[in-house]
Structure 1
């Protein structure tokens, strides 16, 4: 049987030890490796440790450039069966080149999460007028256009899938829901999980280049943590995450128990030894890797409705959900001090993992969707009239702008 070839086109290298997006991409690559695809990963950023780690997956890493015909030579040589764009900006920059050089390659867009949803929520105070605001948002039009130009778009959140199908009327054939793919918890995992009395302190964790995480840390520092600390003077809040800049580091205050650790080597170890995770997320999209980890490592949490979106699926949450900050404080204290409530919350998290994040089930569904799309590619493209129309206009605009930039760069270098 002929071995398939996958070419991933990205702007950055995945960092699974630093970002949820890095975990997501690594999991997708592992799926394709399991499906016996030869993986090529091209990024416009400079090679670094993250690019080297990809080679452990058996991927061939390539430095690519936007607005440069050298990409055409690279993709022509690879001649991939599937091209996967890491977020819509990569599709905008390279999609038309893929269409020209490898028109028969299946094009997949991994959204990571819906950027327009996160940015819209950042601008509004509630979701009351969310759909109206989205439909007036230029970023939404760009991102949805990228989906329509692709043969398949991957969604990490069931909420986002429903929004696209029900509110923006995207053909569900062009979409596929695939959440994070955590390993199943074994009986041994559960037996070895530290219990209530073996844990102490609170945890806040997340990559600080991600604005919702920064926003949550400042909210904790200014409003929530001082009130929690007043009730629990022996408890500390451990603030962890990659890319902590000076603004974040200055929040460190040992006297008040607000301890900024920055990047940590093992999220598992710190989750397993803290009692409660705090995630007061006021905007965002997709699934929250930190909350998935809190379930995997038996650490109940307090978060917001946006935090649990696309994760709980009508099941009891592994902690409490509120966006009222006084209630957030009270629930944090309750969960930290009430062993019975804490153990119930922990069990709820294990149930959510079992029912909503079944790796084997989601992996098989993904494999079948890829095979179906490859087999029916021409039919899907023929039915996707709006996608064909957008490809035409994108080719006429983005293509010639890119070629103009390429020629301009040539003249600069020739001087």
Structure 2
């Protein structure tokens, strides 16, 4: 009997060493392979030197073209049982083609994070106003993103906070959503360093992601000068893929503020630091850097937005502070007090053990997929708004794409 086929349409080729999004994609591929799916990964993006070798894990790869009926021929021939869209913009571009050419394929959206939440928060920070959940209801991105969620049979949501927003603010039927966070297991004990084996501070994050650039700016301008007054010998190490010129210009050895660019080994960089600092003012989803720090035994100090969706009722593995003066004083305290630092490290292990082990999620996810595949017709009948959005009168993305296709001939 032939394996079931899953087609993943990627916004980009996964780069697990560049961002948590790349890690997330590899985790999803592994979950589906365990369920017996043959995985085909297709993308219209250019591969980079840092793209993961998907063939090495048994994934077939396919380059595709935007706004072209060559995709229709490809998917008809492949005839997958399931299609996963990597972020809502990919569903906008390819969802209607999947619907027309493979109507019986289960359509899944991996939201990665709620783009509308991240961008609306970013807008509030730029305007120096307080973000309100009700702001989302007037967001143009939200209208597109929620429409995409409604058109799909299932959307994977990375954060419990975002599940709550979708159900309570946007009134989405919970049957269309499935909570599936990033997974982080344990590192072998001998790789966990103690308080006295670690030193200095680290921040790490892909600089194509706006919240990371903003966080580094806050560190440089508001937080690091305060820390330096108390800890003049400590060094702030900034790592991240794709640093722009404005990031590199912040490099200042006299102030012990070091911009290194891409880390050769991100895990070693986090493991060797005494504390990870993440003063994130806007964003969404889960912060992979904070979960990885917990896994590697490195306490962290972040904001409420940074910690969102991670600790629930568990104590943080360090401190959470939104006021940057308080942030700086907590950094100094944690750096100097071994007993608080040790307890923080244990708190991180506890959060991972109780909230992010893959065993907590994989069976429930497999059951959900099996249920949907067996009951797809009745599941779709219940989703009237989704059917309405697939009606030809609502498919502006389809007609825009057709127009571009004709124009390109």
Q: TM-score range by the shorter chain?
A: over 0.9
Contact 1:206–1:241 under 8 Å retained in 2: yes
Cα distance in structure 1, aligned partners of 2:273 and 2:124: 33
Work out the CA distance in 2 between the residues paired with 1:302 and 1:349: 12
Query: What is the match of residue 359 of structure 2?
Result: 360
Q: Map of 1:201-280 to 2, 5 A cutoff?
A: 201-280=200-279
Task: Note if 1:299 corresponds to 2:298.
Answer: yes
Aligned to 2:177: 175
- Give the whole-Å Cα distance in 2 for the aligned partners of 1:24 and 1:357: 13
How much does 1:355 deviate? 0.4
Name whichever of 54-63 and 289-298 sits farther off.
54-63
Structural mapping, 1:14-93, within 5 Å = 14-50=14-50, 53-93=53-93
Tell me the residue number matched to 1:384.
383
Superposed displacement of residue 47, structure 1 = 3.4
Partner of 2:94: 94
Q: For residues 341-379 of structure 1, give each alpha carbon's deviation from its aligned partner in whole angstroms, at most 9, with x where no partner exists.
A: 000000000000000112112111211111111111111
Partner of 1:323: 322
Give how far 1:131 is off.
2.0
The alignment partner of 1:294 has SS state of helix
Contact in 2 for aligned 1:238/1:261 (Cα 8 Å): yes
Could you tell me how far apart the structure 1 residues matched to 2:52 and 2:228 are?
Answer: 43
Contact 1:96–1:395 (Cα < 8 Å) also in 2: no
Post-superposition offset of 1:39? 0.8
Q: Is 1:286 the equivalent of 2:285? A: yes
Q: Note the aligned Cα RMSD (angstroms).
A: 1.4
1:151 aligns with 2:153: yes
Which residue is 1:405 aligned to?
A: 404
| Cα displacement string for residues 87-140 of structure 1 (whole angstroms, at most 9, x for unaligned residues) | 000000111110110000000000000000000101125896522210011100
Aligned twin of 2:194: 195
Asked if the contact 2:87–2:110 (Cα under 8 Å) also holds between the matched residues in 1, the reply is yes
Runs of 4+ off more than 3 Å: 47-52, 125-129, 393-396
Work out whether residues 13 and 52 of structure 2, in 8 Å CA contact, stay in contact via their aligned partners in 1: no
TM-score (normalised: structure 2): 0.97
**Deviations 1:228-281, CA, capped at 9 Å, x for gaps:** 012101100000010112211111111110011110121211111110110000
Determine if contact 2:166/2:172 at 8 Å carries over to the other structure.
yes
Distance 1:129 1:46, change over 3 A: closer
Q: Hey, what's the Cα distance between the residues in 2 that align with 1:221 and 1:254?
A: 12
Distance 2:212 2:202 in 1: 13
Match in the other structure for 1:141: 143
Aligned partners of 1:142 and 1:14: how far apart in 2?
24
Q: Secondary structure at the match of 2:65?
A: coil
CA distance in structure 2 between the aligned counterparts of 1:52 and 1:276, rounded to whole angstroms: 29
Aligned partners of 1:394 and 1:115: how far apart in 2? 25
Correspondence 1:116 to 2:109: no
Instruction: Specify the SS of the correspondent of 1:124.
Output: helix
Structure-2 change in CA distance of 1:357 and 1:159 (3 Å)? same
Change in Cα spacing, 1:314 to 1:52, as seen in structure 2 (3 Å) is closer
Match of 2:166 in 1: 164
Deviations 1:170-221 (A, max 9, x none): 0000000011112344xxx234411000111001110011000000001101
Q: What is the number of equivalent residue pairs in this alignment?
A: 407
Distance, in Å, in 1 between the alignment partners of 2:175 and 2:31 is 21
Where do 5+ consecutive residues of structure 2 fail to align? none
Residue aligned with 1:278, SS: strand
Q: Distance in 2 between matches of 1:47 and 1:330?
A: 43
The alignment partner of 2:13 has SS state of coil
What is the rounded CA distance, in whole Å, between the counterparts of 1:394 and 1:322 in structure 2?
48
Contact 2:133 2:169 in 1 (8 A): yes
**Alignment check: 8 A CA contact 2:295 2:348 kept:** yes
Aligned equivalents of 2:48, 2:274: Cα separation in 1: 35
Give the stretch that moved more between structures: 240-249 or 329-338.
240-249
